[in-house]
Structure 1
Amino acid sequence: MDPRTSAQDVMRCDLCDTAVVQMHCDTCLVNLCKACVGEHMISDESKKHEIVRFQLRKSTLIYPLCKFHKNERCEMYCNQCDIPICSACIASGNHSGHNILQIIKVYNARKEEIEREMKEIEQNIYPTYQNIASDVQNRISQLEKEYGDLSTAITKHGEDWHREIDKLVKNLKAEVEKMKAKHHDALKAHKDEINQLITDIYNEIQASSKLLELNDISLFLKFNTNIQEFRKLPSKVNVTLPHFTPTQYQPEQLIKLFGNLSSLSLTSEEHGYKMKTTKKSPEAGSSPPVRQLLDEPETITSTNTGYDRLYNVVCLSDEEIWTRGNDNTMKLYSINQGSLLKSIRTKSGNQPYDIAVTKSGDLVYTDYWDRTVNIVKNEKIEELIRLQNWIPYRVCSTSSGDLLVIMYSDDYKQIKVVCYSGSTGKQTIQFDDKGQPLYSSGGYITENRNLDICVSDLGAKAVVVVNQAGKLRFRYTGHTPAPKNKSFNPRGITTDSQSHILTADSYNNCVHIIDQDGQFLRYIDCGLSEPWGLCIDTNDNLFVAHTKNKTEVIIKIKYMYIK
């Protein structure tokens, strides 16, 4: 092993190649021992050698050599020509009238720019690419399940077809048996008729034979044969056999009847990812200002509604709130004015079971009895989703513009959450890793800022939180002591800019606040009575639907302040 290059050996002087390095020339980037410093200084007297201790190497700035004047260092910078220049360049007059800067200032400005860019890369760009990689991996992980669901749907549809075909074949064969029995009975009756005639003819023959053996004229004169009747042969019974005519079809016709797969679409969305940023920004992907919970939340406004029972509130803006009650009308209220702005009746006349507002500001509602999810655009109602074998229950809009729909099976034995992009279901959340149901009953649903999906499960008396991939993160079952010492009864649910999860507890007349990991933080009561629906505006003000003196009221509560 060469002691001069061994990682276990100390660094050696670049000149003598034996002594330990003690000094460094920042000008020439040469390592030196003390004995060789002098020799290096005179080796090239045209340079201004900056000799420093080895530990302080690169502490001295290395000015660039001038391209026009040999051995001159450039300590100035011509902004017009965008090049470093030396004192000789200035003296030459070639840069007369130009904006001349000290190169150290240009260096410092560029250094600050690089430091800012490096900070942005470290804090924003690099984490963003990590998040993108994680997102792609999550999508890859979802492939098996999503394509499995697709195959299962095709298999189930095929089984449905098989059942219908089997039923059809069974019915046709039963009809064949009925026809055969009718045919058989007709021919048997005809045979019995012929046999009777044969018996009559035989008896006629016997009688005639006996008469011919006698010589009694009087008997002959009285005897008449039935030969005229027998000459009239009986009608022949003809039965036309039924025949089966199978419907002719081409394979493409069968595919059209059965159903077909849409083509796989692979596209690149230029602005599909958002840059992670630590700066305050109105965009959804920005980091919110840090807010702290108030020790004493305060009620800001109170708005009476015309409902007998108020179940939902959802923010259209910081000033306008959509509501849903126990009738077939959804109402838009101005919170500041306390006035009704607009009313929309459901298309079917049924009571809506939940409402949400999309990213574009359109109202969405579920129609339990009609099995539909509908969207209101320019006050016109359009059917967005129609279910079969399932009943839509609750709905919320996600930060990506998708819809999350809670639904029941027809027999009410199953419940699941389905994520829809438009009218296309792209993810189903129903079971945990052990194959057990995640949810026991329908509740309300929302998406947290960290993309967790939060459901208030009334049957389980819990808030069930899964991640974006549908994996169970935690279940929150309330906190002890409760304000009214009653069991946790979760109703409306919402989240804020700090990823807190807020849940209305109608039994304990309060709102629970937990963090994104399910840890209890505190209660909000503010004189609440049977709180139900919840929503939060962009300033983290909480709106609660509750009953006050037998009147259905929306109250606006301030419960956080900017730190």
Structure 2
Amino acid sequence: MDPRAQYVLLCDLCESDPLQYCCEHCDINLCTDCVSKHLSDSSKKHNVMPYHLHRKFIPRYSICVKHADKDCEMYCEKCVLPVCSICVTSGKHEGHRLTDVLEKLGFEKQSLKKDLEELKTRIYPRYEEMASDVQSEKAELETNYGNMTTAADQQGDVWHREVNAIVSQRKSDIEETKTKHMALLEKHSNEITHRMTEIKQVILEMKNILGTNDISLTSTYKSRNDEFNKLPSKIKVTLPSLSTPTINTEKLNEMFGSLSSLSVITVRPLLAEPRYTATIKTGYYRLLSVRCLIDEEVWTCGDNKTMKLLNLQSKLLASLQTKSGNLPTDIAVTRDGDLVYTDYHNKTVNLVKNKKIRTVVILQDWTPFYICSISSDDVLVTMVSDDGKQSKVVRYSGSTEKQTIQFDDQDRPFYSFGYYPHYISENRNLNICVADSSAKELVVVDQSGKLRFRYSGHPSNTKQSFDPRGITTDSQSHILTTDHSNHRIHILDQDGEFLRYIQNLEHPYGLCVDIRDNLFVAEHHTGKVKKIKYI
């Protein structure tokens, strides 16, 4: 094979050393040693300059491996290789898509430049961010473990010499656990650093390719951006705690306390760009709610009395009309796959089991709105008093009311008044999350009903106020809520910190997440459900 088809551009004279110069008049590439030899030919005019300053495009055709006297001026897309004119006319590539090698070169370089730009500006900085996070956690590790060591010392000082051996043992436990913790983070850091090194190497190789017009080299380029786009899972190690119970001389070792083991949780990162993987046409003029039965099927309800079960191809699998013939206000799916719905008009909560509807809750003086099924097999229902002056959340187990969440510890109402919807979901940490559309905020309380936080939208949003409607949570304890008027979804962590938006939606309303953390969004005005991969 012609040496010019190799990965390094070589001198045209010696064909062994890398080129450094070119003679513009003679149209020849030269290495450092061959410059003087070339200039010794005084019969010609020469203009030797560094190769990187030579801007004239000179096609570097590869020599055909089967016909050594022919340049490969065409490229066979099916065979994925350059071919010469004899190869084309031989019939071996009949029916194959052939393109000009220079066009192929331009296309591949554009693709390569795009990958290079993505690696430099988007992928690699994310690795840098992850590496920085690990380093910060490692820096805090010494302080945290030092605090535990101090706690062990203080507890040991209260006791006397008979417990010194126990104190020493606990310190050893702490040191050993710290070593394991540090080793986990070090391993994770090394993995990230290794990938970063790979990316740097790929960037250098890509730059080398871009520096040549060698079609063979360029056409063999294979993008690894998809591989690098799949970021390593984050490692979240829960810091152990050292318990220090009251001294009991009869049970010194037990009462001194022990160090809990490391708890390692894999944190799945959010995708840089969410992917829309399916669109379901529901047929509703106004779509209100969507709930997952399985990851390939969803229940929906909208502007009529019929609730529909659809697959990802928009095929109607089942339909069900409300018992009263009224419009269902909201729907939920239990852990057993049964459907539950609220009926605003007759003030009921209804369970659908084996296609039979049973009314499980009949309210007096209150009107039910939105509902969610939770991990304990109970349901949470938001409701408003008939006079519109009170709002609350009620937990039901079957027909039994188990808990009411309405006021904080100073008897101030959590939720706004009036006949405005309050959408609801339970998080993995058992927090109860309500999207209060009238107050334009999320209200999150813990399992006992104590306020955790309120969220009123991202501070950068200055054009239009936060307009929350549907709300759901995922396996990573993220909180997702639709921002109806702003055509997007907000993603928060479990403590209410804003993480990012999901954009390009049309009046998103209800939403839910399946067991694989696929997001289903009901677009109110289009009547479509969109399936989105975001994690």
Output the TM-score relative to the length of structure 1: 0.48
CA contact (8 A) 2:506 2:526 kept: no
Query: Does residue 417 in structure 1 map to residue 407 in structure 2?
Result: no
Query: Does residue 477 in structure 1 map to residue 494 in structure 2?
Result: no
- Residue 7 of structure 1 and its aligned partner are, at CA, apart by 4.7
Letter in 2 for 1:360: D
Give SS of 1:535's match.
Answer: strand
Structure 1 runs of 4+ off > 3 angstroms?
276-279
- Residue 499 of structure 1 and its aligned partner are, at CA, apart by 0.4
- Residue 539 of structure 1 and its aligned partner are, at CA, apart by 0.9
Per-residue CA deviations over 1:276-331 (Å, capped at 9, x if unaligned) read 9999xxxxxxx975210111111001111110100100101111100010111111
Query: Does residue 290 in structure 1 map to residue 262 in structure 2?
Result: no
Query: Does residue 344 in structure 1 map to residue 323 in structure 2?
Result: no
Partners in 2 of 1:317 and 1:350 — Cα distance? Answer: 27
Query: Does residue 545 in structure 1 map to residue 522 in structure 2?
Result: yes
CA contact (8 A) 1:288 1:497 kept: no
Query: Does residue 428 in structure 1 map to residue 404 in structure 2?
Result: yes
Q: Which residue in 1 is equivalent to 2:277? A: 300
Partners in 1 of 2:493 and 2:385 — Cα distance? Answer: 32
Partners in 1 of 2:336 and 2:455 — Cα distance? Answer: 32
Q: Which residue in 1 is equivalent to 2:290? A: 313
Give SS of 1:308's match.
Answer: coil
- State the structure with more CA Rg: 1
Partners in 1 of 2:433 and 2:514 — Cα distance? Answer: 18
- Residue 520 of structure 1 and its aligned partner are, at CA, apart by 0.5
Partners in 2 of 1:438 and 1:340 — Cα distance? Answer: 40
Q: Which residue in 2 is equivalent to 1:447? A: 426
- Residue 480 of structure 1 and its aligned partner are, at CA, apart by 2.9
Query: Does residue 557 in structure 1 map to residue 535 in structure 2?
Result: no
Q: Which residue in 1 is equivalent to 2:464? A: 486
Question: Residues 235-384 of structure 1 correspond to what in structure 2 (within 5 A)?
Answer: 289-335=266-312, 337-384=313-360
Partners in 2 of 1:508 and 1:288 — Cα distance? Answer: 34
Partners in 2 of 1:459 and 1:446 — Cα distance? Answer: 17
- Residue 467 of structure 1 and its aligned partner are, at CA, apart by 0.2
Residues 369 and 499 of structure 1, relative CA distance in 2, 3 Å threshold: same
Letter in 2 for 1:382: R
Question: Residues 388-427 of structure 1 correspond to what in structure 2 (within 5 A)?
Answer: 388-427=364-403
Residues 288 and 299 of structure 1, relative CA distance in 2, 3 Å threshold: farther
Partners in 2 of 1:301 and 1:409 — Cα distance? Answer: 39
Q: Which runs of 5+ in 1 are unaligned?
A: 1-5, 12-122, 131-275, 280-286
Which one of 504, 513, 534 corresponds to residue 536 of structure 1?
A: 513
Give SS of 1:295's match.
Answer: coil
Query: Does residue 500 in structure 1 map to residue 475 in structure 2?
Result: no
Residues 488 and 277 of structure 1, relative CA distance in 2, 3 Å threshold: farther
Residues 472 and 417 of structure 1, relative CA distance in 2, 3 Å threshold: same
Give SS of 1:444's match.
Answer: strand
- Residue 411 of structure 1 and its aligned partner are, at CA, apart by 0.4
Give SS of 1:507's match.
Answer: helix
Partners in 1 of 2:358 and 2:384 — Cα distance? Answer: 22
Q: How many residues align?
A: 285
Which one of 395, 401, 414 corresponds to residue 438 of structure 1?
A: 414
Letter in 1 for 2:336: S
Partners in 1 of 2:488 and 2:262 — Cα distance? Answer: 34
Per-residue CA deviations over 1:482-529 (Å, capped at 9, x if unaligned) read 3x821000000000111000000011100000111011000001x201
Per-residue CA deviations over 1:384-410 (Å, capped at 9, x if unaligned) read 100111111111111010010111111
Partners in 1 of 2:261 and 2:375 — Cα distance? Answer: 17
Partners in 2 of 1:492 and 1:401 — Cα distance? Answer: 21
CA contact (8 A) 2:479 2:492 kept: yes
Partners in 1 of 2:353 and 2:365 — Cα distance? Answer: 27
Query: Does residue 460 in structure 1 map to residue 439 in structure 2?
Result: yes
- Residue 359 of structure 1 and its aligned partner are, at CA, apart by 1.2
Residues 517 and 7 of structure 1, relative CA distance in 2, 3 Å threshold: closer
CA contact (8 A) 2:287 2:526 kept: no
Partners in 2 of 1:278 and 1:554 — Cα distance? Answer: 41
Partners in 1 of 2:367 and 2:521 — Cα distance? Answer: 27
Letter in 2 for 1:516: Q
Q: Which residue in 1 is equivalent to 2:494? A: 516
Partners in 2 of 1:480 and 1:296 — Cα distance? Answer: 22
Output the TM-score relative to the length of structure 2: 0.50
CA contact (8 A) 1:355 1:364 kept: yes
Partners in 1 of 2:460 and 2:519 — Cα distance? Answer: 23
Partners in 2 of 1:356 and 1:7 — Cα distance? Answer: 61
Partners in 1 of 2:359 and 2:327 — Cα distance? Answer: 16
Partners in 1 of 2:455 and 2:378 — Cα distance? Answer: 25
Question: Residues 134-153 of structure 1 correspond to what in structure 2 (within 5 A)?
Answer: none
Q: Which runs of 5+ in 2 are unaligned?
A: 1-159, 166-237, 246-259
Per-residue CA deviations over 1:144-192 (Å, capped at 9, x if unaligned) read xxxxxxxxxxxxxxxxxxxxxxxxxxxxxxxxxxxxxxxxxxxxxxxxx
Partners in 2 of 1:493 and 1:356 — Cα distance? Answer: 12
CA contact (8 A) 1:542 1:557 kept: yes
Give SS of 1:491's match.
Answer: strand
Residues 540 and 278 of structure 1, relative CA distance in 2, 3 Å threshold: farther
Partners in 2 of 1:277 and 1:496 — Cα distance? Answer: 26
- Residue 341 of structure 1 and its aligned partner are, at CA, apart by 0.7
Partners in 2 of 1:382 and 1:289 — Cα distance? Answer: 41
